[in-house]
């Protein structure tokens, strides 16, 4: 059964939510309003916690890139696709050809209550093993659905377990033909910041 997008403003406690996580989110018929949502931006340096503490590196989007989504969606965890772009004129440390393909992504939108962030961020985990970081590269993100609300974790291990579940749910959700078709959608995969 797919999870539904229920408005919720305050973070739920870990225990209230984690016991009944679905394996797939979003209707089988495909994304419903307000999705899909497209975002573009230059990858910003973050806190470095995703890689170091959680084993889940993230690409932070700039504030102006998340305004539209923040106006339409609650804080929480979302899934879809992302593509990191090669810089227009190349530079040392350019990405390999396999690293500029479209990959599934899971994204956190909010204040991350476990870390008490002071401002809202959009942190995108591209589900691919990259050889190098890509700060300053352009990234295109296509959000196709909602997974869950932000949770107020009591331990880092619980957060890491839920990140692993979020990744699994993302892969299951985008594997359906009605979602997978967006992977090749040139409307967003080829677009870059000008």
Burial (CB count within 10 angstroms: exposed 0-12, middle 13-18, buried 19+), residue 175: exposed
97 tagged catalytic: no
In order, the DSSP letters of 32-87 are -TT--EEEEEEPBP--SHHHHTTS---EEPPHHHHHHHHHHS-SEEEEEEEEEPPP
Q: Which residue in the list 99, 123, 138, 150 is annotated as catalytic?
A: 123
Q: How many residues does the structure list for the chain? A: 194
- Cα 60 from Cα 45, distance rounded (Å): 7
Residue 103 contacts residue 167 (beta carbons within 8 Å)? no
CB-based contact 130:95 (threshold 8 Å): yes
Alpha helices in 139-193, H assignment, sequence order: 156-174, 177-180, 186-189
DSSP-derived 3-state class of residue 166: helix
C-beta separation of 111 from 119 below 8 A: yes
**Residues taking part in catalysis:** 123
């Amino acid at each position: 059964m797919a999870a539904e997008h229920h408005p919720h403003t305050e973070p739920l406690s870990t225990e209230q939510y984690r016991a009944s996580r679905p394996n797939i989110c979003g209707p089988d018929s495909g994304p419903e309003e307000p999705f899909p949502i497209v975002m573009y931006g230059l990858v910003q340096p973050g806190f470095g916690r995703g890689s170091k503490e959680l084993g889940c590196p993230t690409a932070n989007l700039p504030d102006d890139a998340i305004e539209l989504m923040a106006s339409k969606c609650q804080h929480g965890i979302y899934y879809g696709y992302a593509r990191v772009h090669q810089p227009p004129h190349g530079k040392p440390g350019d990405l390999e050809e396999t690293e500029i393909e479209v990959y599934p992504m899971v994204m956190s939108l909010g204040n991350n209550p476990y870390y008490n962030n002071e401002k809202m961020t959009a942190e995108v985990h591209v589900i691919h093993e990259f050889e190098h970081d890509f700060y300053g590269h352009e990234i295109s993100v296509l959000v196709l659905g909602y997974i869950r609300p932000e949770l107020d974790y009591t331990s880092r291990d619980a957060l890491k377990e839920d990140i692993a579940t979020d990744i699994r749910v993302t892969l299951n959700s985008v594997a359906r033909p009605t979602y997978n078709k967006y992977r090749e959608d040139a409307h967003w995969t080829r677009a870059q910041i000008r």
